[in-house]
Amino acid sequence: MSTSHKAYVYKGFERFWHWNQSLLIFILALTGFEIHSSYELFGFETAVDLHNKAAWAFIILIVFAIFWHFTTGEWKQYIPTTKNLRAQAEFYLFGIFRNAPHPSKKTVISKLNPLQRLVYLGLKILVIPVMVVSGLLFMFYRYPQDGGISIINIDNLEIIAMVHTLGAFLLLAFIIVHLYLITTGHTVTSNLKAMITGWEDLEDEDETTEINIENPKPQSNA
């Protein structure tokens, strides 16, 4: 029978970054789809203004988050690994519905399972940078700037618009999956509480494993 202990998993800045990033992505998505005429909520001009301000806040948050990750060593959490990768995928596809044991145990120094590492790394080095760069191209190069002259003359921003929109849909898909996986902890709300308080119940290592590590060779009865 497995036991658990409380551990301080998510530090103060980590939680601050997580919740502010979530809020800014929500504002960017809400205003971005209105700019694309999906609906009318704030009005076009207000939506553009809110979108731009949220974008700058998001970029500033990214800068602080990068600094925090590298100064604390938390960037190591995203190093990809193939260990238990297939087992983790099978757990999400099938095992989770059969109440199967989780193939990866969370620890303070290893918060992400192999699949999460790949997804989060992809978001950080591919999706979000593409979103930021394509958004800045809109904002500075062909975006209306009080009649100002564009710095770079790009005749057609259709491809950039498509890339930016594709990134938005990828982020939206990630958020939907993320919201579902939040409910798959020890209880429906345990993962959510952990990201609010920083404290989480982590499973202890199996006693048999601990004995084997300390005594790799069985003792003789002789």
Whole-angstrom Cα distance, residue 13 to residue 67? Answer: 11
User: How many CA atoms, within 13 angstroms, populate the side-chain half-sphere of residue 135?
Assistant: 23
pLDDT in tens, 118-139: 999 999 999 999 999 999 888 7
Q: Name the CATH code of domain 4-145+153-200 (choices 1.20.950.20, 1.10.150.20, 2.60.260.20, 1.20.1070.10).
A: 1.20.950.20
DSSP state letter for 2: -
Tokens at 39, concatenated: 């609906």
State yes or no: pLDDT of 150 exceeds 70.
no
pLDDT at 111: 93
pLDDT at 155: 60
Most confident of the following: 107-121, 131-145, 192-206: 107-121
Q: Where are the domains of the chain?
A: 4-145+153-200
pLDDT at 212: 35
pLDDT at 137: 83
Q: Residues 214, 12: contact at Cβ < 8 Å? A: no
Which of residues 222 and 125 earns the better pLDDT score? 125
Name which of 121, 117, 62 is nearest 88 in CA terms: 117
**What's the pLDDT band for 193 if we cut at 50, 70, 90?**
very high
Tokens at 192, concatenated: 């959510």
**What's the pLDDT band for 49 if we cut at 50, 70, 90?**
very high
- For tokens 């989060």, the residue is 120
State yes or no: pLDDT of 180 exceeds 70.
yes
Instruction: Report the predicted TM-score, pTM, of the whole model to 2 decimal places.
Output: 0.81
Question: What number of helices (H) and strands (E) belong to the chain?
Answer: 8, 2
State the SS3 of 28-44.
HHHHHHHHCCCCCCCCH
Q: Could you give the angle at which helices 128-140 and 158-182 cross, rounded to 10 degrees?
A: 140
